[in-house]
Structure formats: structure tokens, C-alpha cells
Chain A
Amino acid sequence: MTGAALAPSLAGLILFGTFFGLLFLRVPVAFALGLACLPILIIEPRLDSMALVQETFNGYNSFILLAVPFYLLAANLMNVGGITDRLVRLSRALVGHFPGGLAQINVVLSIFFAGISGSSTADAASQSKIFIEAQRKEGYDDSFSVAITAVSAVLAVIVPPSILMIVWGGVLTVSIGGLFLAGVIPGLAIGLVQMATVHAYAKARGYPTYPRASLVEVVKSLAVSAPALMTPVIIIGGKVFGWFTPTEAACIAVLYAVALAAFVHRELRWGGLRHALLDTGRFAAVTLFCVGTASVFGWLLAYYQIPKAILEGVLGWHMGAIGTGFFIALCFLVVGCFLDAIPAIIIVGTILDPLAKLAGLHPIHFAMIAIVALAFGLVTPPYGLCLLISCSVAGIRMIDALKDTFIMLLPMFAVLVVVIVWPDFVLILPKLISPEFLK
């Protein structure tokens, strides 16, 4: 930027230095991002604090982000409206007889849940309440129960629909329908390796198992869950065939959940509805408020062309497509430890976008590497929201669940490596179903 009073390197130092300093002093992330912009806005003569207000406004004034509260609301309505109970019954009939039956149900329920909701934190909050106490009673170790609940919750952002895919598509203009399709195979693969991990744990530690469900029970539970299982078909189908925008698809999920709870299951109560709405409002607002301050932060980075300065250094390394893929994953893994996934996409996604283009990565491939890597960040300390939520429900410290969490992440790393080195792993479904998304 010609005429800027600060050199890019100094501006970058002030932004990141203030941000991490405030973070260390336990200032909430959203406020630390906003406050880090203040010194710059004061020093730079062309800018003032109006820019901060204007950019937060621009951040929130987005029809796409509106999908976030809707997916949270759909998830909360599933819990109060009896949809979750029916899916638990189906999961039990399907995998209850595997070693570590209850923990297997935990993983499979997360896959179903992921297909309806797009929010991992909503998944972690609801499944912690369902499973941690129940697994404790059956003799599972607390650290194992917390770890598997939190780690399986991250499936919600990888299996479509996913809030992260919607934000990514909106911020970096990538086809959201294409991202939804691309997430199916990696999501299911991560679900499978998690089930295998549970299997290994259960064999080693002698975790209990349930008797095999009769065929009649399987069919019955499938029948009562069928209306709920239609949700992902409607959402993803509607998006892929272009019937609705992502926000409208999320709204359909809400309306469908209300209709199921009120008319099919007849379990919707006023108190439950109010609770679901309040919970949604609080969580969505706190998450999204951070989007506003992250937008200001990202806007200032762009103002000083700091991304370009960083990239010029990295380009000298000549990494090639796979090397760049690993570099991108590493960036998001590190950033995910300290930042929530949505601000990470707004700040780091836009920084790395030109790098991915230069290396010849397909935009959808790039997005999936980032989203899978960011999913790890949901359970890694110090800022792993899903793990924090599960720990607080179980009443144990995060540090006590870390060992089991990292053991469970190892096989998932293998999936991330496959995502990086084998582009068709994510691109094959969009290629087969709707090739126009790939253009």
C-alpha cells in the first residue's frame, strides 16, 4: 500500500504481537482480535476506529453466515424433539454388539448427527450429556469417554452439511455444493477409523458389549429413524441440485426438525423450544461475534499486504503440490490450536489461497485439506472447543483426557495424509455427481 505510515513488517508485528499477548492474558479471543487492531487504527493517519465498526458490520451483514444459527437450531431441536433418542436406538441396533458397544454407538450417532447438523460444538455438547455418564456407569475410563465423545464430534464439520464448508465457500468463493459432496468420503473414512480405534481400545481394556439386536429390532429402529434420516438427503440434495441456497437449506432443516418434533414424534414442549432457541442464540452469537473482529484483523492484514509478504518467503521453498498440501495442513493444525475454525478460515484461508493456486491445488481439494486439519483443532489444547465442552460435562481437567485424545487422533492423521496426497479421494464424488462444481 503506497502511502501507509507503517511498514508491513512492523504492522504485522503489532497485530500478531498484541493479539497473542492479550490471548496469553486471558482476554477472550474475539476481544483480543479487535483490540489488536486498535494501535494500528490510531497510528495510521488514513484509518480510524470507524473502520473497526464498519468492518465488523460488513462481517455480520452476510446472508450466508445466517446458516450458522440455523444449523445450531436444527441440532438443538433434534435433542429436545426426540429425534436424537431415535437415532441412538438405531445406532445401538446397528453396532451395539461390537466390542465397546456404547462407544461405537457414540461414533455412529456422531455420523448421523453430522449429516443433519453442521456444528461440532453442538454435537459435543449434546453427546457429552448422553454418553459420558452412561459410559462411566458401564465401566469405561473417564478419559476414554471424554476423548471419544469429543473426537467423534469433529465429524460434524467434515460430513456435510458443515458450517465450515459454508463459511469457506462464502469467504473464498468455492462451490458449497461441491464442498458438501467432497466431504462425504473423508468424513465416512474418519468415522470408520474411529470405530476401529474403539475396537482396539475395547479389546485391550475389556470394555463391555451389548447382545446383538434382532433383525426385527433393526428394521423397527430403522423405521422410526427414517424421517430423521431423510434430513441429510433433503439438505444435501437440495444444495447439490440447486433448489436452495445453503442458508435456505439450513432453514429447511429447522422447519423439518420442528415438524418432526411437533407432528410426528409429538414431543415438542414450549420449555424445550425456548431452551433450544436460547441455547442457539447464545452460542451462535458468541461464535459469530468473533467473525466480526476477525474480519477487521484480516482486513488490516490485507491493507498492509502482509499475506503477500509472507508468501514471498514461502514461495522460495519450491514445495510442489503435495509439499504445499502438507504445508497448508500444518498451518491450519497450528492455527487451529489457538483460534476457532471460522476466524481461522477468514484470516489464514485468505492468506494461503494464492499459494494453493500457484501450487495447482484444486480449490475444493485445498478447502478439504484445511477443513480436515481445522477439525483436529477442535480437540487440541489449549483452545479445543469440543474437548473443553466434553471435559466440562464430565467434570475432569483437559490435561487428563489429552493422552487418549492424541492416541485417537493418530489414525485420523493417516486419513488427513490420504486427503493430501490423493486428490481424487475428495474430488471423486463431485466429479461423478456434478462435474460443473469443479470448474
Chain B
Amino acid sequence: MNAWRRFTRAYAALLNWLLVASVAILVLPVSMQIFSRFTRLIPHYIWTEEMARFLFIWMIMIGAMVGVREGAHFEVDLWPRMSARAQAIVRLFASLAILVFALVFVWAGTEFTRFALNRISELAELPLWVIHVAWPVTGVTWIVFIGEKLWDDLRIALGRAP
């Protein structure tokens, strides 16, 4: 179990770094687009806009992965204050719902990626699967992170955790 937790923590740390990098790099293609229009310092590349969009998609997906581990996805709380055990049971249900959605992402996302295997993007001519593969990767990552939560809440719900 300990090795499992170490793995998820290291994986989350890696994703956080990728998130920082993707936000930082996002600034570049858009800046290039502006500077190439107003100055003659750099040529006007046609792929900057597409590049920015694709990186943006990965940024959203990586952040959505990390968000599940940290419980950062917003929820509406209409429940009164409850015991720790009752709260764990409510959380169990929400986690199961996320698990279902994760399975859909893995299943449909794999199709989506296979569908794009032989296609390239319009402007930068990147292989499209590089972007589409974000969906199954997100699904798998959610399963990894939500599995940890399900386990913890199940122990609280069964009264086996302090």
C-alpha cells in the first residue's frame, strides 16, 4: 500500500510540474503571434495559433487530472453538517460517479485516439493522436487518483479508520 501512495504522490508532483510548464509555454506562441504582426524581429509563423490551442487542451486536461486528486472540482453543497462516517458515504457516491465518467473517457477516448492515428493537423501538421490521447490518459489518471480516495472513504464508512 505504501508503494502505491508513493507512486500517486510522485505522479501528482510530475503532473503539477507539467501544468506549470504548460501555462508558461502557452505565453510563447501567442506572444510570437503579436510580435510578428507589429515588428519585423520574427517572421509570421502560421502554426502559432494552432500550437497554442493544442497546448491549451493539454493544460486543461492535466489540471482536470490534478483537480480530482485534490478535490478541486467545484461541487454544490446542499447537505447539513454530518458525522465523518456519513460524509464518507456521500463522498463514496460522488467518487463512484467520477469513476464511471473516467471509464467513459478511457473507452471512448481510446476510440477517439485510434480514429486520429493517421491524421495530421491542418496548420502545424502535427499527428492528431498526440492531442486526442489526452482523453484516455485523463481517464486512466482519474482511475488511479479516485481509487485512492474510494479506498480511504470505504475504510471510514466501514468504521475501520481512526
Taking beta carbons and an 8 Å cutoff, which residues of A are in contact with B?
A: 22-32, 34-35, 38, 48-50, 52-54, 56-57, 60-63, 65-66, 69-70, 73, 244, 247-248, 251-252, 254-255, 274, 277-278, 280-282, 284-286, 288-290, 292, 338, 340, 382-383, 385
Output the nearest chain A residue to B26 by Cβ-Cβ distance.
A69
Q: How far is the CA of A407 from the CA of B104 in the complex (A)?
A: 45
B52 near A66 with CB under 8 A, answer: yes
B101 near A34 with CB under 8 A, answer: yes
B76 near A63 with CB under 8 A, answer: no
Q: How far is the CA of A248 from the CA of B23 in the complex (A)?
A: 15
User: Given known contacts A69-B59, A277-B24, A286-B73, is B101 in contact with A31 (CB within 8 Å)?
Assistant: yes
A286 near B76 with CB under 8 A, answer: no
- In the complex, B44 has a CB within 8 A of chain A: no
B62: chain A residues within 8 A (beta carbon): 281, 285
B30 near A22 with CB under 8 A, answer: no
Partner of A251, one of B20, B30, B100: B30
User: Given known contacts A285-B62, A382-B76, A382-B78, is B90 in contact with A274 (CB within 8 Å)?
Assistant: no
Output the nearest chain A residue to B95 by Cβ-Cβ distance.
A27
A-B contact pairs, 19 of them (CB 8 A): A23-B76, A24-B78, A25-B97, A26-B75, A26-B91, A29-B74, A30-B73, A32-B97, A53-B108, A60-B60, A61-B57, A66-B30, A248-B34, A277-B23, A281-B20, A281-B22, A282-B66, A382-B77, A382-B78
- In the complex, B155 has a CB within 8 A of chain A: no
B109 near A53 with CB under 8 A, answer: yes
User: Given known contacts A31-B97, A53-B112, is B67 in contact with A289 (CB within 8 Å)?
Assistant: yes
Q: What are the interface flags for B52-83 relative to A under an 8 Å C-beta threshold, 1 for contact and 0 otherwise?
A: 11001101111110110010111111110000
Chain B count of residues within 8 A CB distance of the other chain: 53
User: Given known contacts A29-B74, A248-B33, is B26 in contact with A50 (CB within 8 Å)?
Assistant: no
Output the nearest chain A residue to B18 by Cβ-Cβ distance.
A281
- In the complex, B157 has a CB within 8 A of chain A: no
A66 near B73 with CB under 8 A, answer: no
B90: chain A residues within 8 A (beta carbon): 25-26
- In the complex, B152 has a CB within 8 A of chain A: no
Partner of A66, one of B20, B26, B97: B26
A289 near B97 with CB under 8 A, answer: no
B97: chain A residues within 8 A (beta carbon): 22, 25, 27, 31-32, 35
B23 near A281 with CB under 8 A, answer: yes
B34: chain A residues within 8 A (beta carbon): 244, 248, 251-252
Q: What are the interface flags for B6-38 relative to A under an 8 Å C-beta threshold, 1 for contact and 0 otherwise?
A: 000000000010011011101100110110000
B74 near A254 with CB under 8 A, answer: no
Given A28-B98, A32-B97, A338-B76, 5 additional A-B pairs, CB 8 A: A25-B97, A27-B75, A29-B74, A281-B19, A285-B63
Q: How far is the CA of A56 from the CA of B132 in the complex (A)?
A: 11
A277: chain B residues within 8 A (beta carbon): 19-20, 23-24
